[in-house]
């Protein structure tokens, strides 16, 4: 050992790094990952539905088609045919599409280019924990939008914007997941979407619409995205105040980390610069493989929808049978999650060890709230569970809740 004094490494960490905390969910997943525990805690797509053979074939096709270029550095904006295809969905130019390494990177980069310390960011209560993790290092001040069965309560948002204006606070951005929200599974109605887009335009608030689950609708009619409504309102792709994030993670596979952002030119321009500093570009081969996989996408989405609908229906049926009166839950029209609310006074984090003793696990709801609360709530995912696991799991959870209420 040398005598040279060593710096106190923790004291060298930036203020930004000090705001980071281990994801509460990752910590919980560790407890719940004992081999004999049936876990509804993670948000994993069903791996048995991954089109392994087609992915293998896509790698070979891309390598044959592009040769060494498939393994070379490539442009920050992304693989042109992939950008073209994505742009075509909303009828916008490919220049308005930025490929990102998972929409998680998209959220981080958007935080980086948009949030200054102390900026007010509007988030749903509850919201996607990963977005809070992405935004937190940029030191926002969160304002929570009240939600109900229909997602964001736009009347309450109107009031909130008025209250904030009176306090001299002008929110900079609003983050929302209108389709089959993570964590609640709720969907925003068309009427609310329209009003939200108009209201935010009036107040000069940028909207980040996060839509990884929109294609996974198994009930009801598809609704226009906030992005499309924003486009109609602005009449110009480069004046749309809605930014759209989506991903192939839930429709195809998450491991290739292929995702994208659609936005007006000034936002895309900054994203390119921010992404250069982050990773230069999303892996070239992965983007080429995804492009080869696009023809398979409609059939794959149908397979996933059918499977998730069956799992969700079964879970709801079993919850109806086993959960005691007073336990409320959402009935998603798509996606991977549902949200359970226990009677006031019960604490789902405190109950988790008792559920794990009965060999079943969920995620307590509190970490999904930017400003705390939601002690009596929890999230479950049905996407990665067999019917047998769902039956046994809901029975065990029902017993856990009954015991807590006794």
The residues binding ligand PMP (CB under 6 A) are 43, 102-104, 128, 130, 177, 182, 210, 212, 247, 249, 254, 259
Whether 218 contacts 308, CB under 8 Å: yes
Q: Are 357 and 397 in contact (CB under 8 A)?
A: no
Q: Which C-beta is closer to ligand PMP: that of 128 or that of 362? A: 128
Rounded to a whole number of angstroms, the minimum distance from the CB of residue 308 to ligand PMP is: 14
Distance separating alpha carbons of residues 290 and 83, to the nearest angstrom: 11
Contact 282, 257 (CB under 8 A): yes
Residue 177 beta carbon to ligand PMP: minimum distance, rounded to whole angstroms: 5
46, two tokens: 């069903």
The nearer residue to ligand PMP, 216 or 267, going by C-beta atoms, is 216
Q: Report in angstroms how near the CB of residue 210 gets to ligand PMP at its nearest.
A: 5
Crossing angle of helices 284-293 and 52-66, in 10° steps, is 120
List C-alpha distances in Å: 405 to 345, 346, 347: 10, 8, 11
Nearest distance from C-beta of residue 211 to ligand PMP, angstroms: 8
Contacts of 10 (CB under 8 A, 6+ apart): none
Task: Tell me how far, at minimum, the Cβ of 22 lies from ligand PMP, in Å.
Answer: 17
| Total residues belonging to the chain | 406
Taking the least distance from each CB to ligand PMP, the nearer of 44 and 310 is 44
Tokens of 179: 């389709």
Rounded CA gap, 88 and 82, in Å? 10
Min dist CB 400 to ligand PMP, Å, is 26
The residue at minimum Cβ distance from ligand PMP is 102
224 and 193 in contact (C-beta within 8 Å)? yes
Residue 210 or 228 having the CB closest to ligand PMP: 210
Nearer to ligand PMP, 218 or 337 (CB): 337
Choice between 210 and 262, CB closer to ligand PMP: 210
């Amino acid at each position: 050992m040398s005598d040279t004094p060593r710096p106190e490494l923790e004291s060298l960490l930036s203020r930004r790094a000090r705001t980071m905390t281990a994801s509460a969910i990752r910590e919980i997943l560790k407890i719940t990952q004992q081999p004999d525990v049936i876990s509804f805690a993670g948000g994993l797509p069903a791996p048995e539905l991954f089109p392994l053979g087609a992915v293998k074939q896509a790698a070979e096709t891309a390598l044959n088609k592009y040769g060494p270029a498939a393994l070379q550095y490539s442009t920050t904006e992304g693989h042109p045919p992939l950008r073209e295809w994505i742009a075509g969905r909303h009828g916008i130019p490919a220049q308005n599409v930025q490929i990102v390494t998972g929409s998680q990177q998209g959220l981080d980069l958007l935080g980086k280019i948009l949030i200054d310390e102390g900026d007010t960011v509007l988030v749903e209560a509850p919201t996607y924990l990963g977005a809070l993790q992405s935004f937190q290092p940029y030191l926002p001040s969160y304002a929570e939008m009240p939600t109900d069965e229909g997602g964001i309560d736009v009347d309450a948002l109107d009031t909130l914007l008025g209250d904030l204006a009176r306090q001299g606070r002008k929110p900079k951005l609003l983050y929302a997941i209108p389709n089959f929200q993570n964590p609640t599974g709720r969907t925003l109605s068309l009427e609310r979407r329209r009003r939200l887009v108009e209201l935010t335009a009036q107040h000069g608030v940028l909207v980040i619409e996060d839509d990884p689950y929109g294609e996974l609708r198994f009930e009801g009619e598809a609704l226009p995205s906030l992005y499309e409504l924003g486009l109609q309102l602005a009449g110009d792709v480069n004046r749309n105040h809605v930014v759209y994030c989506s991903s192939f993670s839930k429709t195809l596979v998450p491991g290739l980390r292929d995702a994208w952002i659609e936005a007006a030119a000034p936002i895309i321009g900054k994203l390119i610069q921010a992404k250069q500093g982050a990773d230069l570009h999303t892996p070239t081969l992965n983007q080429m493989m995804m492009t080869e996989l696009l023809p398979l996408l409609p059939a794959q989405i149908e397979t996933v929808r059918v499977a998730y609908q069956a799992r969700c229906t079964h879970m709801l049926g079993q919850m109806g049978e086993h959960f005691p009166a007073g336990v409320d839950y959402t009935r998603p029209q798509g996606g991977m999650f549902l949200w359970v609310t226990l009677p006031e006074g019960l604490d789902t984090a405190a109950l988790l060890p008792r559920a794990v003793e009965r060999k079943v696990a969920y995620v307590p709801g509190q970490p999904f709230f930017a400003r705390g609360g939601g002690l009596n709530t929890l999230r479950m995912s049905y996407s990665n569970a067999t019917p047998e696991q769902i039956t046994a799991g809901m029975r065990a959870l029902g017993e856990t809740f009954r015991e807590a209420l006794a």
